[in-house]
A and B are shown apart, each in its own frame.
Chain A
Amino acid sequence: DAGITQSPRYKITETGRQVTLMCHQTWSHSYMFWYRQDLGHGLRLIYYSAAADITDKGEVPDGYVVSRSKTENFPLTLESATRSQTSVYFCASSEYGQGLGGAEAFFGQGTRLTVV
């Protein structure tokens, strides 16, 4: 099916563990994004990628690592999870970079991560 999918939908992990959230899109969009959504903060950009092997930091990158070896995948890794990283994480993709055109960003269903 065409679209953007995230896995898992829900995850509980322990403090200090490494966890990877997966994101896959089927449109071959150049740009992909990771956001976290927290009450009172809206969506904040963690990392984004303009193409395979090109990534850049967003507003809140500390404690996260990304990679993009293939255009369609953009995994987000929490190297050593902390309780402050408990959040809902959204992956998104768009055909081109924001500001270059009014490209709609398509979002995955989100991953609810709880760090205990």
Chain B
Amino acid sequence: AQTVTQSQPEMSVQEAETVTLSCTYDTSENNYYLFWYKQPPSRQMILVIRQEAYKQQNATENRFSVNFQKAAKSFSLKISDSQLGDTAMYFCALGSNYKLTFGKGTLLTVNP
């Protein structure tokens, strides 16, 4: 079985500041990928960033970057220069064994 745990149900940050969302996972598979998805109030699920487990280099996408610690099975998301539009539910997800398993999500609020 594969599991994804997000220990922070809610977080808040001031506009322009940096925030880190935590995620841990567990899988017995050797081939897997990790993702962060964003769900704004519109309910649409949007891919933020992905990480290939066999790559040691941490993925980055503009203001979004990850800290991937494979041995610790940790996959945190850092958002730099937070913007009001970043307000959303963020889901960590593990892709392996043909399917995608999600954590329970972290509701991030960016305050002006």
Q: Is A109 an interface residue (CB 8 A)?
A: yes
Evaluate contact between B50 and A98: CB separation under 8 angstroms: no
Of the candidates B29, B47, B105, the one whose C-beta lies within 8 Å of that of A104 is: B47
A88-B35 Cα distance, complex, nearest whole Å: 21
Q: Is B16 an interface residue (CB 8 A)?
A: no
Of the candidates A40, A98, A107, the one whose C-beta lies within 8 Å of that of B45 is: A107
Give residues 58-112 of B contacting A (CB, 8 Å).
91, 95-105
Of the candidates B33, B44, B45, B104, the one whose C-beta lies within 8 Å of that of A41 is: B104
Nearest Cβ in chain A — how far from B73, in angstroms?
15
How many contacts between A and B, using CB within 8 angstroms? 69
Q: Is B31 an interface residue (CB 8 A)?
A: yes
Interface residues as binary, B19-51 with A (CB distance below 8 Å gives 1, 0 otherwise):
000000000010111010000000111010011
Nearest Cβ in chain B — how far from A38, in angstroms?
10
Evaluate contact between B100 and A110: CB separation under 8 angstroms: no
Give residues 3-25 of B contacting A (CB, 8 Å).
6
Of the candidates B43, B51, B52, B100, the one whose C-beta lies within 8 Å of that of A105 is: B100
Known: A99-B32, A100-B31. A43 touches B102 (CB 8 A): yes
A33-B52 Cα distance, complex, nearest whole Å: 21
Known: A42-B104, A99-B32, A102-B50. A109 touches B44 (CB 8 A): yes
* Interface size classification for chain B: 20 to 34
Evaluate contact between A110 and B98: CB separation under 8 angstroms: no
Query: Who on chain A is nearest to B105 by CB?
Result: A42
A84-B32 Cα distance, complex, nearest whole Å: 32
Evaluate contact between B100 and A33: CB separation under 8 angstroms: yes
Evaluate contact between A90 and B45: CB separation under 8 angstroms: yes
Evaluate contact between B98 and A100: CB separation under 8 angstroms: yes
A44-B3 Cα distance, complex, nearest whole Å: 11
Known: A31-B98, A33-B100. A99 touches B31 (CB 8 A): yes
| 19 A–B contacts from the bound complex (CB under 8 Å) | A33-B99, A33-B100, A42-B6, A42-B103, A43-B91, A44-B102, A50-B98, A58-B99, A97-B98, A98-B97, A99-B32, A99-B33, A100-B31, A102-B33, A102-B35, A102-B50, A102-B95, A104-B50, A105-B100
